[in-house]
Amino acid sequence: MTGTATARATGMSQSKLSKIENGMLLPSVTDVERLVAELSATRETKVELVELARQLHAEAETRRVVLHRGAHRHQQTVARIEARATTSRFFQISGVPTLLQTEDYLRVVLSATPTHEQDTAIGALRARRGRMEDLNRRFVFLLSESALRWRMGSADLMCEQIEHLRRLSRRPNVQLAVVPWSAEVSAVVLHGFQVYDERYVTLSVLTGNATITDPHDVREYLHLFGRLERVALRGELLEDLLEGISRDHRKLG
């Protein structure tokens, strides 16, 4: 069959068929099913090629990094991921994780966002925070000391935020730890991130929020989280550090 006849028989354009032939376009499973039917492939070849198309699409979807724009859209995306997760891990370098923010702190974070989107994002976040009441879910928060010293507002706002962290950390399903400046980390950490079970990673960039699902990449983030956890402070040492940071904020204020 000519390319023109094949395109007509399968309902494709000639340009699409040409791209598939030249390896410039990954055909859908439906495209492959139509092609093998019209080209009278053997049963074994049909099964092999259709299955190969399915595998390639699964791999392509896994390797994709999806960028979401807009605070509300990101909250919705993360809410769907969190709804399926039993263990959620959070690491932040330059700010408090969203689930731990007071409303005043959150409004400062969203100050550059249009007002109507702020209100929608806050509503979506409240729904996410409701899941923290479920004791069957585990929330592990890991912060750098700089995340708590990064001044998002007045001294009062920062001290209130730190006290809020203390209260939330007393919940049975919440773990809080802080990597102090004095710790020898021996790792390059370029940005904050969140890991949900062993399936998803989300992270924020300047122009949006990315979702990563590739298993190899997720394992890399889990490994990094574990390295940071090993040098983080908990218990009385953490209480002393939080008190010291609050004291410094009050002095600066």
Predicted local confidence at residue 136, as pLDDT: 93
Contact 38, 4 (CB under 8 A): no
Distance CA 192, CA 188 (A): 12
Predicted local confidence at residue 74, as pLDDT: 60
User: Cβ contacts of residue 50 below 8 Å, gap of 6+?
Assistant: 29, 32, 33, 36
Distance CA 155, CA 252 (A): 7
Predicted local confidence at residue 240, as pLDDT: 96
Predicted local confidence at residue 60, as pLDDT: 61
Predicted local confidence at residue 230, as pLDDT: 96
What pLDDT tens digit does each residue of the chain (253 aa) get? 888 899 899 999 989 998 888 888 888 999 999 999 999 999 999 999 999 888 887 766 555 555 555 555 666 677 778 788 999 999 999 999 989 999 899 889 888 777 777 777 788 778 878 888 999 999 999 999 999 999 999 999 999 999 999 999 999 999 999 999 999 998 889 999 999 999 899 988 776 778 888 889 999 999 999 999 999 999 999 999 999 999 999 998 7
What sections of 39-154 are H helices per DSSP?
Answer: 43-63, 71-84, 103-109, 115-130, 145-149
Contact 173, 139 (CB under 8 A): yes
Contact 228, 147 (CB under 8 A): no
Which has the closest alpha carbon to 79: 124, 20, 40? 124
Contact 173, 133 (CB under 8 A): no
Domains of the chain: 3-63 (no CATH), 65-252 (3.30.870)
Predicted local confidence at residue 212, as pLDDT: 87
